[in-house]
A and B are shown apart, each in its own frame.
Chain A
Amino acid sequence: MVRLITHNLLACHAKGCTSNNFPLQFQNVQIELKEAEFNPTFLETFMPKLEWKALVDSAKEASATISRYILGNTSLPLEQPEMLDEEFLKNLHHVLLEIHVEEGIMICPNCKHNYPISNGIPNMLLAEHEIG
């Protein structure tokens, strides 16, 4: 699956593409929602690693593809908050761990390399001449 947690860790690794190679931009995505167990301790520990803007942007991209009614609440504050209340953590949990991108493409913002997602599995393989 490509949940937004995984998307937030991925970067383009094509030959010579070493800056502005993250976050990959979603295109033509199909999304499934699956409930996941809520674990606030995990979220609080993981949060400092998040690229916040990338997460907010990809949540917006994802929610643009299907109706908000189905997707639930994906509204995250533009800045990562300092006070973590339950409501915020639940939203974060939903965005990070319950939105599954099943089909689509991820495009490098720098070199425009396309990484396809099929059946929830992102193809990060490169052709031999593209390997750095």
Chain B
Amino acid sequence: MAPRSVTSVSISEDPQVYEDTHVHAVYEEIAPHFSSTRYKPWPVIAAFLSSLPAGWIGLDSGTGNGKYLPLPSENPSRVWTIGLDRSLNLLKIARNAGGAAREVVWANVLDHPWREGIFDYAISIATIHHLATHERRKQAVQRLLQAVSPTHGRILIYVWAVEQDDLSKREIPVEQSTELSLGKDVFVPWVLSSSDKTQADNQVFNRYYHMFAKGELTQLVSEAAEEMGLRVGPKSEYSVSCSGIEFKQNGWERSNYYVELHCWAQ
């Protein structure tokens, strides 16, 4: 497939309506095709899931086709991940991810249909960048913080970066990449080939993304945590009767920024 350019957009509508049209409706349409291209787990995520203590349960918020639900592959029943997604058609694929029955729940990542702090870990992979405002992206992070244990919870978040790697199929127009400190709202086309393979009948679906600027993800997470009264930084002997989060990893992998957070309390 030839490289396809992303195009800049600005959001003037109600963000929820916008996400319904440019995210949820698109995934419902492209679910099977999308899923067939998403089977290889990213190394940092696989390593995170392998690092968890045995017996932990976790939430995959925005699970898509559920490709992370069967992990860790070397010892699949070691931890138990439950998938949540807004797309029913993707969940229908996710519920049998890896050829076994999986637990999946149909909900929005801004919802919190759980007992407070009941999970030991949560992952949010390539999901928060589909939310159309800073406020909503912050809320999504807060839902993850609410979902995990305040004393030992661990969270891994991946979002799409303005910094794209060379292998990426997408081209970002140069003149658009000048002001990147606040990230960038774009449409990314998804081409659904028609069955008779004539180019003219290909359907193009534009998915909305917020491409994160360098440092924007850590800033967002810190803001989300501080608003909930959490400290940001490692636990120290001076932090008495309070709780917080510590960044254990903060990096860039294959056109994405990611952070790993550990919750602590004392």
Residues in chain A within 8 A of chain B (CB atoms): 1-3, 5-6, 9-13, 22, 34, 36-37, 39, 41-46, 49, 51, 100, 115, 119-126, 128, 131
Contact = CB atoms under 8 A, between A and B. Distances in A.
A10 B113 contact: yes
B105 A122 contact: yes
A36 B80 CA distance: 12
A36 B53 CA distance: 21
Contact of B114 (A10, A34, A37): A10
A9 B55 contact: no
A3 B82 CA distance: 11
Contacts of B54: 41-42, 45
A123 B111 CA distance: 12
B223 interface: no
Contacts of A100: 101
Nearest to B76: A37
A9 B58 CA distance: 11
A119 B55 contact: no
B115 A34 contact: no
Contact of B101 (A1, A45, A123, A128): A1
B102 A1 contact: yes
Interface stretch (B41-49, B87-95, B177-185, B234-242): B87-95
B113 A12 contact: yes
B6 interface: no
B104 A1 contact: yes
Given A5-B80, A22-B115, A45 B55 contact: yes
B16 interface: yes
B56 A45 contact: yes
Given A6-B82, A125-B111, 19 more contacts: A1-B101, A5-B103, A6-B105, A9-B115, A9-B119, A13-B111, A36-B101, A39-B77, A41-B54, A43-B55, A44-B55, A45-B56, A121-B88, A121-B105, A121-B106, A122-B106, A125-B108, A126-B111, A131-B110
A9 B88 CA distance: 20
Contact of B82 (A9, A45, A119, A126): A9
A43 B79 CA distance: 10
A92 to B, nearest CB: 13
Contacts, number: 86
Contact of B113 (A3, A13, A49, A120): A13
B78 interface: yes
B112 interface: yes
A34 B118 contact: no
Contacts of B53: 45
Contacts of B91: 121
B107 interface: yes
Contacts of B86: 125
B103 A6 contact: yes
Contacts of B110: 131
A2 B114 CA distance: 14
B226 to A, nearest CB: 21
A6 B91 CA distance: 15
B95 A120 contact: yes
